[in-house]
Structure 1
């Protein structure tokens, strides 16, 4: 793995850093560090405006082909952008689900008509997307989805439509989104047979009668997660991606895009958080405790190893290897960073000592949290969302190592 940047890549890094330095000033400078996991409620409208400024200057959808509105940037240039964006502490973007997940899925699986309709608004950040996967009884076990959709002709002259009934949960930012990509069961009875069959991948508008969105208030004060109820919600028949009943392949293809180049930018953000915890330990004297010092040193070494692993995995992707050929790289990386981040939250509380137990007054919910308290609470979810630790370990055991499948409960 050669990590030496070419002259072209160095020039691109300088271009990204210079643009961010020139534009993260004035009102935009005040947004630095705002948003992100557990904090998506912060300055949402302002961050949306910032995202649209990025779009105007060609800084969205970098890796998309130019014919679909992207820049056709190489894998390493995309890594460079995310790293420099994180180093600049630029505000968290609001269009991740559209840009990083749905867009590449439509490019890979969508029809020309779907691409022409939905890709330009994603590039311009004029339509926002939510992900309709998890349900109360189907989280990491996505094949247990019970939301149903049936094809109906309403007889109004507008053509057939899919009618959707069911419930989704933990739907990030659904309350501020325009559309939702939904996994629904379109073949009655398929759940009792081969559960992966009979599912379809639908594009459903959220601003309609038949869709109710209820934000879920969290301990951290935000409410970016939601429950979404579909009761006779409708979407056009041609807004099904792929073939009817074969949406599992599309859904898995989308998840393959989830752990892409942005993860390396994520490690830069983690390094900033670790540096902040170390600085606090120096300020309050906790750095003199050999146990605390050892834990901080371990976190620093482990983060370096995680970044090196991510680079190696991306090099494998660049060489044409898939996740299995790369040794289950996506699952390994998820296990590594999620558990590392969770431990960072625990160490941050140990460094804070008794002060970490005290919240501040003055908000609508009666208390406010500092960044370390919020880190500790929200990082408890890191090993659950995006595929729980247990699911990642099963994937590695069964699909990569070829071990016997876990015993499933009898029906």
Structure 2
């Protein structure tokens, strides 16, 4: 059969085709998703800034820990130097006591030599007195000498006792002072050592507790931020998937509107364009006859191939094999994008949504394919033909014979 001559589209059709190429405005859901995406991006940037701030605070805490360790080291060196000074003071006191003891021994020797000199003088006087007494009467001389000797002996004994007591007092005072100084120095060293140990232990424990608390808090904050980032990434992926799904639904709705516009054109419209390879081959061999369907089309809308479109949603009407039901999905998509020209009229309000599973079962049988071919060839209504064209395309894709 010779191909039908194509007619030049009018100015109204050209303007409709040019207007269709422009992208329709985004829906409220898409705008809401864009605002939500911007908000989530700002929150993610804020979380990243918070992580950077926490890292800076951690570095500051590390520097503070180094400073505290340096102060502890300086304090330990100061305590050790103070202990060394105390030890040096003990050594100096010991040396001073030794010097004092040496001085006391020297003074003792001087006193002993002095008393020996006095004793020698007294002895000389005694000898002189004895010599003088020898010249006197022996009895008086003896009495006088005995009295003098007893007096000198008592004086000598008294001086020796005083000297011995003085030595004992000096020695006892020296030993007491030495023991007191040693005990005081030892107590001060021990108290300073205990105080230094307590201060060092307390500072170390406080520093370790502070570092542990800060590390735990920072770890919890980082874990929370990581979980928040993972949640934001998952939300972003979900929003991207929803955006892709909305774009696909929008494209499906736009293609559905184009199919409806093509179906509503009358017999004056152009022929099928862009049919898939299997259907075009069947038409060339005469297996499918598109002339009756082309004569039954309405005269409005762009030129598109319903079989090559491949409807993604279930669309059908009342068929002979029992497929009935409303079509809220297709009408809602058409109203959402603003294609009011493709909505069904009151005369076409009996169309229903076809079950995809039933259509798949029909594609597996030659009878269902033959019925779809007859519906397409006889020129069905604007919404039935795409559904049967979809059924026919599925059958061709599955390799079901059409004759």
Bin of the TM-score, shorter chain as denominator length = under 0.3
Q: Structure with the greater relative contact order (CA < 8 A, sep ≥ 6): 1 or 2?
A: 2
TM value normalised by structure 2: 0.22
Normalized per residue, which structure has more helix? 2
Normalized per residue, which structure has more strand? 1
Structure of higher CA gyration radius = 2
